[in-house]
Amino acid sequence: MSNLNHTIRKSLFANFIGRYSNTLVQLVVTAVLARLLSPSDFGVIAVLTVLVTFFSFISEMGLGPAIVQFELKREQLSALFWLTVFVGSMLSMIFVFGGPLLSTFYHEPRYIAIAKILALNIALSCWGIVPFAVLRKQLKFKEIVMVEIASAILSGCVGIATAYANFGVFALALKGASYACSMFAFCLVTSRFNPFKRPVFRGMTRILSYSVYQFFFNLTNYFTKNLDKLVVGRLMGSNALGLYDMSYRLMLLPNANLTQIISPALQPIYAAHQNDKATIFSSYQTVIRALLIAGGFAGVGCFLCADEIIFLAYGKKWSLAAPIFSILSLSIAIQVVLSTVGAIFQAIGRTDLLSFSGMLCAACSISAMVIGALSGSLVMFAWLVSASFVINGLMTFYILARRGFGTSLLSLFRPSIGCLGGIALMLVASAAVKLTMSAFEFNPIVLAAKIIGVTGAYAAILHVTGDLRFLLNTLSRQPTRASVLKSDAGQVGEAI
């Protein structure tokens, strides 16, 4: 198990520098675009972005995780690639023809032209599924990070250049399309995948069965994470949607940049041990504890410094987004851990449980959104959405523990109980501090004091709970030479 955790740590360090470089690029591009464009522009594109994500989930068909989980011949990979080309092309054409309907429904004539641009995003994203999955299967995490950074830089340049040229909301559409184009091209070259092998569909019944459950999870997960934007856009207008969407995206940055360092590695690494659930369970307990420590710090920091973060990221004109961002930040810690659970369901071959948990989460989230929308308050909407994230996390981990590993939820989180208590204590203290502060006003001295205070207090709590020593040991621990030789010998024996 120590060697398994070492493999995860090795992948984490390989991704760390590249991932945060990508984050820096995204922050710079978003900050520039936020000053060149209006909240209404972001609100207009947010509705179509949700629909593009929906079409992308449909076109993916759950094939990516299946390619990682199973051993496939080149001819079978070629068959899956041409399947994605056909499906992606058809869905992109449907999106184009649906542009006029969207324009009429949302009373926005620009949707007709924007839909044509984003249709390219749908097609290229689908075509890149197989090459990207091949890279993950080969554990080429460094190459994946380089591809993502290069694509982010190129698409960011396209977005900024077109925004400067007064393309308005079309700059955001072109940015998305250029990112999909770059990702597809770079993945195809980097993976050295040859799509022109003779396609063969024989022997893929188990793969397709696995993919069906993954597809249904993707579909329900789409509604869980994106229906809020459709509801806000329809009932509260594009300005409210712009405030909510930009707050939501900023809140997701810690989640994306903590879990995307490690989550892409979990399924391919754990899949090699899919018949040894005890080893996966023990290793995943360590992953949960480490992610809660990092996610808790990010959540507390974002909650306390919401005003300053919004000011630095978007400017003073976005002050109304600060309370929304602050509320959504309360769910960062649970979301950071929850984002990894899909890889565990996939690695143990239980995409059926993943699909079931996704349906329960969708029901909970939709209920929260309906109540929030009926309240007519964007702040209340944010509170209910944040609460639904916490409830969804509890339900999903209960299913994983009971049905996936045959144990209890308490057993899964037992090593992390001290950290959870510390996070709760820090959030209460931060709320008390916020009550004594004035309204939206940027002060660098106050920001520095908040950062120092949060860091010191959090480190002290981690020291008391023993999580600080755990984190340092986890990051520095190396497997013994004997464990490495034993692992290598086992792999050789399996190969023979």
Same structural domain for residues 472 and 373? yes
In a domain, residue 215? The reply is no
Greatest Cα pair distance, the chain, in angstroms, is 69
Residue reference for tokens 């023990």: 282
Same structural domain for residues 185 and 285? no
The residue count for the chain: 496
Distances (CA, A) of 265 to 121, 135, 192: 25, 11, 20
In a domain, residue 209? The reply is no
Same structural domain for residues 384 and 284? yes
In a domain, residue 256? The reply is yes
Same structural domain for residues 91 and 239? no
pLDDT computed for residue 410 by the predictor: 94
Q: Report d(CA 133, CA 183) in Å as an integer.
A: 12
CA dihedral 56, 61, 66, 71 (to 10 degrees): -100
Same structural domain for residues 186 and 263? no
CA dihedral 427, 432, 438, 444 (to 10 degrees): -50
Same structural domain for residues 16 and 158? yes
1: CB partners within 8 A, 6+ apart: 279, 282, 283
Residue reference for tokens 């999106």: 95
Asked if residue 197 lies in contact with residue 75, where contact means CB atoms within 8 angstroms, the answer is yes
**Residue 231, token pair as written in the block:** 């509801």
Q: At what angle do helices 141-164 and 2-36 cross, to 10 degrees?
A: 0
pLDDT computed for residue 411 by the predictor: 93
Same structural domain for residues 239 and 199? no
DSSP 102-153: HHHHHT-TTHHHHHHHHHHHHHHHHHTHHHHHHHHHTT-HHHHHHHHHHHHH
In a domain, residue 58? The reply is yes
Same structural domain for residues 33 and 182? yes
Select from 145, 139, 131, 142 the least CA-distant residue to 25. Answer: 145
Angle in degrees, CA 168, 171, 173, rounded to 5: 120
Tell which of 181, 203, 225 closes a domain.
203
Asked if residue 69 lies in contact with residue 210, where contact means CB atoms within 8 angstroms, the answer is yes
**Residue 46, token pair as written in the block:** 């947010």
Q: Report d(CA 228, CA 385) in Å as an integer.
A: 8
pLDDT computed for residue 483 by the predictor: 40
Cβ neighbourhood burial of 445 (10 Å; 0-12, 13-18, 19+): exposed
Q: Report d(CA 166, CA 226) in Å as an integer.
A: 28
Domain count, the chain: 2
DSSP 199: P
pLDDT computed for residue 480 by the predictor: 42
In a domain, residue 47? The reply is yes
pLDDT computed for residue 482 by the predictor: 37
In a domain, residue 226? The reply is no
Angle in degrees, CA 280, 284, 290, rounded to 5: 155
Select from 206, 200, 197 the least CA-distant residue to 76. Answer: 200
Same structural domain for residues 157 and 45? yes
**Which residues of the chain carry a pLDDT beneath 70?**
1-19, 203, 257-260, 264, 438-441, 475-496
Asked if residue 84 lies in contact with residue 150, where contact means CB atoms within 8 angstroms, the answer is no
Same structural domain for residues 179 and 327? no
Tell which of 182, 203, 224 closes a domain.
203
Tell which of 184, 203, 222 closes a domain.
203
Same structural domain for residues 298 and 152? no
Select from 434, 239, 236 the least CA-distant residue to 330. Answer: 434
pLDDT computed for residue 15 by the predictor: 64
pLDDT computed for residue 9 by the predictor: 61
Q: What is the pLDDT of residues 447-489, one digit of tens each?
A: 898 999 999 999 999 999 999 898 888 766 554 433 432 333 2
Distances (CA, A) of 30 to 35, 45, 111, 217, 264: 9, 14, 22, 30, 24
In a domain, residue 124? The reply is yes
In a domain, residue 107? The reply is yes
Residue 86 lies in domain: 7-203
Same structural domain for residues 425 and 385? yes
